[in-house]
Structure 1
């Protein structure tokens, strides 16, 4: 079978949220952009599917808060451009470890964010479906990103800007050279394609390591399968915020990880432990939590959520691709830009990360220093 060769300015490998955002940003600058995605739209094998994600600004690091503020503006612009409602700003509550809650409060207060500190009793009066620990940080300008809608909006915006997006195409390797990157890929029909790109941006999630082995010295990336669940409210009229529970040491001994969640209209309230799943091969994973993990999540909900039915769990499966620090990997090596290691908290930043990747791929600006490869070394 003959090999078809094509030339392109920018190739994006991986069509989840980050790849779509990068393609949108690159195409908007007038570049010829081709995005290749191995799986079908809205596939459930990665990290971008599902109905909702926390729009969470409870950080004390300026580089994340800068990205958050930029991302909210870009999400709003994407809403205007596509007519899709992507954000729900019903508020976010963060409670638990007092030092961590206080640090996030102070960082947000310095920026003039719309926040308040509530007592646990006051918070429980306002949101009777939940129980709280210590002072509660309320972020008014936070809530949810409607993830599935966001993927469609990013796809529409990227195509409107001129990007080509192809699904069912697997990239087998990248060969950087003096003039760019040579890529070999195959489609669902088995036809072999050679793509000569001036630059390649790799946003392949759990498949980043094998694609970039020997080309980019990535920090260790750990792929885990995580299993939040939707729980049914006892009362359909209960009002819910998005939430973070930063567990104190005694609770961490019982539950292994911090907790996050949000209301997901039509599905219930999503509750999950953060980064507690088993290490998996993304091509060979069970798509099922262990009985111990399921029991732990039910026990947590029974303890902290009087307004939810613990036995009603509808389990979800997704992957995290995490760095040791939880910081993202955003950088360029020769003709390859990488966006990886989003560590289970990247989705809300998606459009801003797309801008960072486009800047890096075009040489317009380097990514923020904490996300560069050098910052992950040592």
Structure 2
């Protein structure tokens, strides 16, 4: 049984069903619904990490994206290339990691990069890696669920879990309207709802120690129009800029905002909430002002007035590593901290290993 039909849950269902297991997915709303973390058409796919461990994982995930697109018979990942710049982003160190991982890249001076990408303003060295891009989260979820169902998985929507109990043969789930379902093993991919659900799970005290605690934020994203109109969309790469005051990322906004602007957001700039149940969808004026000030200073290729804005959920572990760990008949999955979407096809493989005992997720992802 898989709780949650976002990117992690859909991937888990696909890989488990693909391996021949009997699988059912329980989703409280609809797959990739607006109250979760997997809606929309625009998420960043990139290789640039300061940690070689994650860069190598992206290389593995890239093969999974090729498999997924082939099996689903539709494009899900659009290559745009990516720029990393700003003193705190440390482009030269990122370049060393990519070199070790065998990922194509260039390290350019600020003036050379500005000549190539005049829609940006740079004040540091710039890392460019052309294999990065934008993934379509909603269509990816739909594709993985479609493949999971083709392999025999079942999907139940409108199924909100209210209670989880151990039984002699596994676990029993009860919905908020009294329905029940028994399973031998439970995989929990609840995203921003996970903190609220943890207390219902048959887990030992201290399963999540302080360094793995979960924080949910209501993040904010803003779309700024290209000065040349929608025709310029294909010329824009994704980017991450980091300095001592702010970390900002951006990417072509896709169909979320009519393909006519760059989606820009501050990393961990939203307010902390208890769980997904506490989100209110309100934009913080101070947050909008910070991002707009960055846009005015650093993105001359867009108009510094957002034409669309939205909120979304970030579930973050204290150390920003993913959480994939099993205790007896329950596997808890939170591949989060704002950088999990790019690993979508690989996540199910890691869950498969952890949940079945045929392998294991990396030690980095364990609860303790």
Q: Distance in 2 between matches of 1:222 and 1:141?
A: 31
Tell me the SS of whatever aligns to 1:283.
helix
1:243 aligns with 2:230: no
Which residue in the other structure is 2:190 paired with? 204
Which residue in the other structure is 2:272 paired with? 279
Once the two structures are overlaid, the 10-residue window that deviates more, 93-102 or 203-212, is 93-102
Contact 2:222 2:306 in 1 (8 A): no
Contact 1:176 1:336 in 2 (8 A): no
Contact 2:44 2:134 in 1 (8 A): yes
Counterparts of 1:1-378 in structure 2 under 5 Å? 11-97=1-87, 100-186=90-176, 190=177, 192-213=178-199, 215-216=202-203, 217-218=207-208, 219-236=212-229, 237-238=231-232, 239-247=235-243, 249=244, 252=245, 257-265=246-254, 266-267=258-259, 268-281=261-274, 282-340=276-334, 342-374=336-368
Tell me the SS of whatever aligns to 1:225.
strand
Gaps of 5+ in 1: 1-10
Count of paired positions: 353
Contact 2:248 2:291 in 1 (8 A): no
Contact 2:104 2:129 in 1 (8 A): yes
1:76: Cα distance to partner? Answer: 1.0
Q: Distance in 2 between matches of 1:102 and 1:313?
A: 35
Tell me the SS of whatever aligns to 1:310.
coil
1:160: Cα distance to partner? Answer: 1.2
Q: Distance in 2 between matches of 1:178 and 1:363?
A: 19
Contact 1:231 1:308 in 2 (8 A): yes
Q: Distance in 2 between matches of 1:293 and 1:331?
A: 34
Q: Distance in 1 between matches of 2:335 and 2:15?
A: 20
Contact 1:326 1:341 in 2 (8 A): no
Contact 1:221 1:323 in 2 (8 A): yes
Q: Distance in 1 between matches of 2:196 and 2:33?
A: 20
Q: Distance in 1 between matches of 2:105 and 2:250?
A: 19
TM-score by length of 2: 0.92
Tell me the SS of whatever aligns to 2:164.
strand
Q: Distance in 2 between matches of 1:209 and 1:286?
A: 17
Q: Distance in 2 between matches of 1:84 and 1:126?
A: 31
Tell me the SS of whatever aligns to 1:41.
coil
Contact 1:174 1:211 in 2 (8 A): no
Contact 1:27 1:163 in 2 (8 A): yes
Q: Distance in 1 between matches of 2:360 and 2:114?
A: 44
Tell me the SS of whatever aligns to 2:278.
coil
Deviations 1:192-224, CA, capped at 9 Å, x for gaps: 222111100000011112222263322311111
